[in-house]
Amino acid sequence: MSEAPGADRAHDHAAFMQAVMDMNPHSLMERMHIEVLEGSPERLVARMPVEGNTQPYGLLHGGASVVLAETLGSLGSAMHAGPDRVAVGLDINATHHRAVRSGFVTGTATALSLGNTLACYEVVITDEGDRRVCTCRITCLIRDKAPAS
Protein backbone atom coordinates (compact mmCIF):
# COMPACT_ATOMS: atom_id res chain seq x y z
CA MET A 1 0.00 0.00 0.00
CA SER A 2 1.43 3.42 -0.91
CA GLU A 3 1.55 6.32 1.53
CA ALA A 4 -0.82 9.23 1.23
CA PRO A 5 0.37 12.26 -0.75
CA GLY A 6 2.43 14.51 1.49
CA ALA A 7 3.35 11.71 3.92
CA ASP A 8 7.08 12.09 3.16
CA ARG A 9 6.83 15.82 3.75
CA ALA A 10 5.04 15.29 7.08
CA HIS A 11 7.75 12.79 8.10
CA ASP A 12 10.45 15.33 7.13
CA HIS A 13 8.79 18.01 9.29
CA ALA A 14 8.51 15.66 12.26
CA ALA A 15 12.16 14.63 11.89
CA PHE A 16 13.22 18.26 11.63
CA MET A 17 11.29 19.25 14.77
CA GLN A 18 12.80 16.33 16.66
CA ALA A 19 16.31 17.30 15.53
CA VAL A 20 15.73 20.88 16.73
CA MET A 21 14.43 19.68 20.10
CA ASP A 22 17.36 17.26 20.45
CA MET A 23 19.79 20.19 20.15
CA ASN A 24 19.00 21.12 23.76
CA PRO A 25 17.16 18.49 25.81
CA HIS A 26 17.05 20.90 28.79
CA SER A 27 15.35 23.74 26.93
CA LEU A 28 12.57 25.96 28.21
CA MET A 29 10.18 23.95 26.05
CA GLU A 30 11.09 20.83 28.04
CA ARG A 31 10.88 22.57 31.43
CA MET A 32 7.41 23.90 30.63
CA HIS A 33 6.27 20.50 29.32
CA ILE A 34 5.27 21.81 25.89
CA GLU A 35 4.21 18.94 23.63
CA VAL A 36 4.08 19.52 19.88
CA LEU A 37 1.09 17.67 18.42
CA GLU A 38 1.26 18.75 14.78
CA GLY A 39 3.77 20.69 12.74
CA SER A 40 4.38 22.10 9.30
CA PRO A 41 5.59 25.53 8.19
CA GLU A 42 1.95 26.53 7.57
CA ARG A 43 0.37 25.29 10.82
CA LEU A 44 1.58 24.02 14.18
CA VAL A 45 -0.28 22.81 17.26
CA ALA A 46 1.10 22.21 20.76
CA ARG A 47 -0.26 21.89 24.26
CA MET A 48 1.08 22.86 27.65
CA PRO A 49 -0.13 22.12 31.19
CA VAL A 50 -1.31 25.00 33.33
CA GLU A 51 0.08 23.34 36.47
CA GLY A 52 3.69 24.40 36.96
CA ASN A 53 3.26 27.39 34.65
CA THR A 54 1.27 29.67 36.95
CA GLN A 55 1.83 33.02 38.61
CA PRO A 56 1.34 33.56 42.39
CA TYR A 57 -2.48 33.83 42.09
CA GLY A 58 -2.68 30.32 40.64
CA LEU A 59 -3.50 31.50 37.12
CA LEU A 60 -1.63 30.58 33.95
CA HIS A 61 1.27 33.01 33.75
CA GLY A 62 1.00 35.36 30.77
CA GLY A 63 4.68 34.77 30.06
CA ALA A 64 3.99 31.05 29.78
CA SER A 65 1.48 31.76 27.02
CA VAL A 66 4.11 33.85 25.24
CA VAL A 67 6.66 31.02 25.58
CA LEU A 68 4.16 28.61 23.99
CA ALA A 69 3.51 31.06 21.15
CA GLU A 70 7.20 31.76 20.54
CA THR A 71 7.97 28.04 20.54
CA LEU A 72 5.39 27.42 17.82
CA GLY A 73 6.33 30.44 15.72
CA SER A 74 10.04 29.70 15.98
CA LEU A 75 9.63 26.03 15.04
CA GLY A 76 7.42 26.92 12.07
CA SER A 77 9.85 29.61 10.92
CA ALA A 78 12.78 27.20 11.22
CA MET A 79 10.95 24.59 9.13
CA HIS A 80 10.13 27.24 6.53
CA ALA A 81 13.74 28.48 6.50
CA GLY A 82 15.13 25.01 5.79
CA PRO A 83 18.35 23.35 6.89
CA ASP A 84 20.77 25.93 5.45
CA ARG A 85 19.16 28.96 7.10
CA VAL A 86 18.19 29.98 10.63
CA ALA A 87 15.17 31.78 12.05
CA VAL A 88 15.50 34.18 14.96
CA GLY A 89 12.74 35.98 16.82
CA LEU A 90 12.27 39.62 15.83
CA ASP A 91 8.96 40.61 17.44
CA ILE A 92 6.24 39.08 19.57
CA ASN A 93 3.12 40.53 21.17
CA ALA A 94 0.29 39.06 23.17
CA THR A 95 -3.22 39.93 24.24
CA HIS A 96 -4.53 37.95 27.20
CA HIS A 97 -8.29 37.37 27.06
CA ARG A 98 -9.18 35.15 30.02
CA ALA A 99 -7.64 33.37 32.98
CA VAL A 100 -7.02 29.62 33.21
CA ARG A 101 -6.49 27.81 36.53
CA SER A 102 -6.09 24.14 35.56
CA GLY A 103 -5.86 21.60 32.78
CA PHE A 104 -4.05 22.22 29.51
CA VAL A 105 -3.92 25.06 27.02
CA THR A 106 -3.49 24.44 23.30
CA GLY A 107 -1.67 26.78 20.96
CA THR A 108 -2.38 26.80 17.23
CA ALA A 109 0.02 28.78 15.06
CA THR A 110 -1.14 29.74 11.58
CA ALA A 111 1.28 31.29 9.11
CA LEU A 112 0.28 34.80 8.06
CA SER A 113 3.30 35.33 5.80
CA LEU A 114 6.16 33.02 4.82
CA GLY A 115 8.71 35.04 2.90
CA ASN A 116 12.38 34.83 2.04
CA THR A 117 13.51 36.93 5.01
CA LEU A 118 10.51 37.06 7.37
CA ALA A 119 7.96 34.58 8.69
CA CYS A 120 4.94 35.78 10.65
CA TYR A 121 2.41 33.70 12.62
CA GLU A 122 -0.79 34.27 14.53
CA VAL A 123 -0.94 31.99 17.56
CA VAL A 124 -4.30 31.38 19.22
CA ILE A 125 -4.16 29.77 22.65
CA THR A 126 -7.33 28.12 23.95
CA ASP A 127 -8.38 26.33 27.11
CA GLU A 128 -9.93 22.86 27.29
CA GLY A 129 -13.36 24.40 26.64
CA ASP A 130 -11.99 25.83 23.35
CA ARG A 131 -12.27 29.39 24.75
CA ARG A 132 -9.62 31.84 23.57
CA VAL A 133 -7.14 32.54 26.35
CA CYS A 134 -4.52 34.52 24.45
CA THR A 135 -3.76 35.78 20.95
CA CYS A 136 -0.13 36.33 19.91
CA ARG A 137 1.65 37.43 16.79
CA ILE A 138 5.28 36.46 16.24
CA THR A 139 7.64 37.57 13.49
CA CYS A 140 10.95 35.81 12.85
CA LEU A 141 13.88 36.94 10.73
CA ILE A 142 15.27 34.30 8.38
CA ARG A 143 18.93 34.50 7.51
CA ASP A 144 21.78 32.38 6.25
CA LYS A 145 23.65 30.31 8.82
CA ALA A 146 26.94 31.76 10.00
CA PRO A 147 29.92 30.02 8.42
CA ALA A 148 31.44 27.29 10.58
CA SER A 149 34.62 28.44 12.32
Catalytic residues, which ones? 70
Whether 111 contacts 96, CB under 8 Å: no
Of 104, 111, 106, 134, residue with least CA distance to 40 = 111
Contacts of 103 (CB under 8 A, 6+ apart): 49, 50, 127, 128
Distances (CA, A) of 82 to 12, 46, 60, 79: 11, 21, 33, 5
